[in-house]
Structure 1
Amino acid sequence: MPRPAPLPVAGLPALLAGVSVLLAGLAPAAFAQGTAPAAPGATVPRSAGPAAPDPAFEAARAAFEARPEAERRAVQDALVWVGGYTSVVTGAFGRRTYEAIGAWQAKGASKGGGGAATGILDEPARAALLAAGEAARRAARFTVAADPATGLVIGIPERLLAKRTRLPDGSRWQSPDGRVTLDTRAFAPGGPDLDALFAQSAAAGPERRVTYSLRRPDFTVVTGETPGGKFYIRDAAGPAGLRGFSLSYDKAMAREVDRLAIAIANSFVPFPGDRPAPAPAPRPAAASPESGPAAATGLAVGPRRIVAVLPGACPGPQAGGAPARILRRDAASGLALLEAAAIGPPPVLAPAPAPPGTAVVVLAAGADGPSVATGDLAAGGVLAPPQPGAAGAPVLARPGRLLGLVARLPATPRLVAGVLPPLTHPLVGLDALRSLLGADAPPAPAGDGPPLSAGAIAGRYAGAVVGVRCGE
């Protein structure tokens, strides 16, 4: 199977990582690095968790959602360009939109604009925001158009990326000094498959650190950094084959390029003749202010047996949309054993806990199929970017052995471009699993098998994970 050639970046020998695109605390199609930064200057109050409704937030939501979808999207796009919104432009109102509007209002007030950071835009404020966003877009000479070499649609900041050349499998736009590079690529059916590209993109090295990786059935996202730069890689699969793009840039230029990277990512449509591109990370009904009751991931451990991490009270549990029954629970770990419809064969338990630094794969249920995130065991749990809805997701060693489950995620996840960045999450370990499951525990093998790729693990055990939800 042919492999795409590494991507040389003039003036940045450290950024040899094939196709790249950054993620400096950014966007969906953009980036995630460490924890997401708070919107600069924001004074809009935040909810500490899913407690009592926030009247100010709900008032802002009502005002925002009263607008047509095209106008809502235009506001979010303008917020990207003024530097306050680091998420997917969908037209849906959530905490990040609320905070970005408040940050922009606060910035205006600090300059004598006199506006209060309410999160609600009146007509003059909305017009001013749209004008500011359009001015920034024009200053960057940001043009969204089809790439003739690949057929995908993407936005190009032509003021910065003034050099354009043709590549064997796509196009390249580059800054005159070679410090910023945007590449597109496309492969016809029968060429490299998504798993092969994902394995190549997610490969770490002595001078290449992967900070986030996500594998979904129809797209992948990988971000990371090198000593001198940052990168973001996204590929999508469809009937026409594979199409993707990458952005790489010098760390010293992050202040200038980060905002452009968000806009580029939001503009990406791999197959413009089909549906719009899926977001680089799912938008599940998860523990987020933008959605309903918290969802989690359940794992098959035997015939009609699913283990999950549930909140303190979980009336009317459902697994895969079907009613489930709680057989027993462990209050200390949050584990619950459910009786539910049969799903795929389970992974086997590892014979013993693994040490910190062990490479792992986190396999979570999502609305559009399982998501795959890579990470490492850490002293406090698992260091990985599992997305909302991944509480209870199995943590698997590279031979495919089950090491434990993600214990919980933040009550109010601070997403960057719709993506939860890599954080250390508590782990429900083997002892707690064996204690709860008893005779229902999958057998432990005598030893480990050969290491598997993230794609191979996902293919083997994707049928064993299912979304779990508590009823109203």
Structure 2
Amino acid sequence: MARRVRAGWMAGCAALGLAPVLALAQAPKPAAPAAKTTAPDPAFEAAKAAFEALPEAERRGVQDALVWTGDLNAVVTGTFGKRTYDALSAYRTRSGGTALLDAAARAALLKAGAAARNQAGFVIKPDPGSGTVLGLPERLLPKRGPIPGGTRWQSADGRITVEAKSFPPGETSLDAVFARLTAPTPERRVTYKLQRPDFLVVTAETATGKSYIRYAAGETGLRGLTLGYDKGLAETFDRVVIAIANSFVPFPNSAPATPVVRLVPPPAAPAATGLTVAAGRVLTSAAALDGCASPRVGGRSARIATREAALILLDVAGLPDAVAPPALRREGAVSSEAVLVMSAEAGGAATAAPGALAADGRITAPLQPGAGGAPIFDGAGHLTGLVSVYPSAPRMVAGVVPPARYDAVPAERIGAFLASAGVTTTAATGGTAGATAAKLAGAIVGIACQP
């Protein structure tokens, strides 16, 4: 069961393009947005060869040390990729070393990681109250006490809380827990949510705090991990969150299940998101499709009907008609204005993410792969821009992509582009972002790229 739960967690995260910190095995990653082919980096390839020549335990030890030095915000898998390379490079630059992975460099890195781990008093051990196994920074969390079905640890000042909790079979369900954790409240904003048949993960923020919650389902019920901490501690405690998440095993005593052969791979995240603005016409960002020679929408071939430096209008024969495009915003952005970003996700569904639009036109939001080209709506439901491009290797914390800043194509540029292409936009009318999102969900499409 433990391996089946981890496999399900990996598959779900892979479907959304996430690096699943709570898993202990490598899973196939979804296709990244198309990019121009570049020559191999000799330094990267040399570091990769040196890393892969190490025994697995040593590879994991190097990555774990990089987590504790604050250079790696990702899962400890023992496999080499860009995040591990960048983390090694950052550690070498900061420490003044000259090599990435020779014996002396590894010894210095492992020593630095062990020092940080020991300073926090990090110990991995079973929790009899919940039946789980997890690592805890005991020097940071001296207060310990029982809670129903588990254990709670807290810092002396109460600014950090960690809970391990279990529910017996039949007492509750993942659906019920997910509904409770994602229910909207005035004080708490959900920044990320994901539910699969055997696990869920939710992250949220309040005005002063952050939280990270994971629950897994097994034959013995539900078991979960909750971390809550003051935002002022994020710079140093985020690395501890990753270490705790890496160590958490919800069902340590379950017998391994027979591996399940997946005949159909999970759907990959789209290369970009498009907004249907007229019959057979899809608007998206040019940067999001940079290097994409053969775009496809809904399995249909698409050709570029019109383009300029920042925008593309695709012609997709046979694409179902969409509702009239939303009203364009006429005035510029204001500081920290609340907005909603609608993007296509794996499988074709549309998802909405809250964000903040700055006066410089850039947006801060917890977006996921495929969000390049996604439309941005203001509080009145007006189209205020498109996300310009999504990074091919986003920064992750505890397995999820936290809110980050993205460039956006402004509404006035969109209006001029559509007008030149003969697409008429509606006049500004009243409404809300939520109503617009519900109305336009069918107009949000994923754009795939054929090699």
**What residue in structure 2 maps to residue 93 of structure 1?**
80
- Cα 1:196–1:175 shift into 2, 3 Å: closer
For 1:116 and 1:84, the matched residues in 2 are separated by 17
8 Å CA contact 1:213, 1:222 repeated in 2: yes
| 1:394 maps onto 2:375 in alignment | yes
| 1:182 maps onto 2:162 in alignment | yes
Deviations 1:400-437 (A, max 9, x none): 66543212245775555663642152134251574377
Note the C-alpha offset of 1:270: 6.0
8 Å CA contact 1:143, 1:158 repeated in 2: yes
Q: Which runs of 5+ in 2 are unaligned?
A: 1-18, 23-35, 258-266
Note the C-alpha offset of 1:91: 3.5
Note the C-alpha offset of 1:92: 4.0
**What residue in structure 1 maps to residue 98 of structure 2?**
116
**What residue in structure 1 maps to residue 181 of structure 2?**
197
3-state secondary structure, aligned to 1:379: coil
Deviations 1:18-53 (A, max 9, x none): xxxxxxxxx9869xxxxxxxxxxxxxxxxxx98654
RMSD between superposed Cα atoms in Å: 4.5
**What residue in structure 2 maps to residue 234 of structure 1?**
213
- Cα 1:420–1:127 shift into 2, 3 Å: same
- Cα 1:247–1:333 shift into 2, 3 Å: same
Task: In structure 2, give the amino acid aligned to 1:426.
Answer: A
| 1:333 maps onto 2:310 in alignment | yes
8 Å CA contact 1:213, 1:220 repeated in 2: no
Deviations 1:200-248 (A, max 9, x none): 4xx565xx8x6x822345445435464xx54233345768669451221
For 1:329 and 1:68, the matched residues in 2 are separated by 53
Task: In structure 1, give the amino acid aligned to 2:338.
Answer: A
| 1:470 maps onto 2:449 in alignment | yes
Q: Which runs of 5+ in 1 are unaligned?
A: 1-26, 31-48, 276-283, 287-293
1:129-208 matched pairs, under 5 angstroms: 129-130=109-110, 132-134=112-114, 136-145=116-125, 154-168=134-148, 171-184=151-164, 188-189=172-173, 192=176, 194-200=178-184, 205=187
For 2:372 and 2:237, the matched residues in 1 are separated by 34
**What residue in structure 2 maps to residue 375 of structure 1?**
355
| 1:262 maps onto 2:245 in alignment | no
8 Å CA contact 2:174, 2:217 repeated in 1: no
8 Å CA contact 2:174, 2:215 repeated in 1: no
For 2:174 and 2:202, the matched residues in 1 are separated by 21
Q: Name which of 57, 60, 76 aligns with 1:73.
A: 60
8 Å CA contact 1:50, 1:411 repeated in 2: no
8 Å CA contact 1:216, 1:372 repeated in 2: no
**What residue in structure 1 maps to residue 430 of structure 2?**
447
Note the C-alpha offset of 1:85: 1.8
For 1:181 and 1:93, the matched residues in 2 are separated by 33
- Cα 1:316–1:60 shift into 2, 3 Å: same
Deviations 1:127-163 (A, max 9, x none): 5534553454355343445655556654322232132
8 Å CA contact 2:181, 2:202 repeated in 1: no
For 1:238 and 1:363, the matched residues in 2 are separated by 30
Note the C-alpha offset of 1:267: 3.2
Note the C-alpha offset of 1:391: 0.8
Deviations 1:426-461 (A, max 9, x none): 13425157437745x787795315846xxx95x886
- Cα 1:242–1:327 shift into 2, 3 Å: farther
**What residue in structure 2 maps to residue 214 of structure 1?**
192
8 Å CA contact 1:170, 1:183 repeated in 2: yes
1:330-369 matched pairs, under 5 angstroms: 330-339=307-316, 342=319, 348-350=325-327, 352-353=329-330, 356=334, 357-367=336-346
For 1:241 and 1:304, the matched residues in 2 are separated by 47
Note the C-alpha offset of 1:296: 1.8
| 1:314 maps onto 2:292 in alignment | yes
TM value normalised by structure 1:
0.65
TM value normalised by structure 2:
0.68
**What residue in structure 2 maps to residue 384 of structure 1?**
365
For 2:405 and 2:387, the matched residues in 1 are separated by 12
Task: In structure 2, give the amino acid aligned to 1:86.
Answer: N
Q: Which has the higher helix share?
A: 2
Q: Name which of 65, 83, 86 aligns with 2:70.
A: 83
1:16-27 matched pairs, under 5 angstroms: none
- Cα 1:319–1:445 shift into 2, 3 Å: same
For 1:460 and 1:68, the matched residues in 2 are separated by 54
For 2:249 and 2:382, the matched residues in 1 are separated by 37
Task: In structure 1, give the amino acid aligned to 2:88.
Answer: I
For 1:169 and 1:438, the matched residues in 2 are separated by 63
Q: Name which of 404, 408, 413 aligns with 1:426.
A: 408
Identity %: 41
Deviations 1:41-69 (A, max 9, x none): xxxxxxxx986543212322333344565
- Cα 1:133–1:403 shift into 2, 3 Å: same
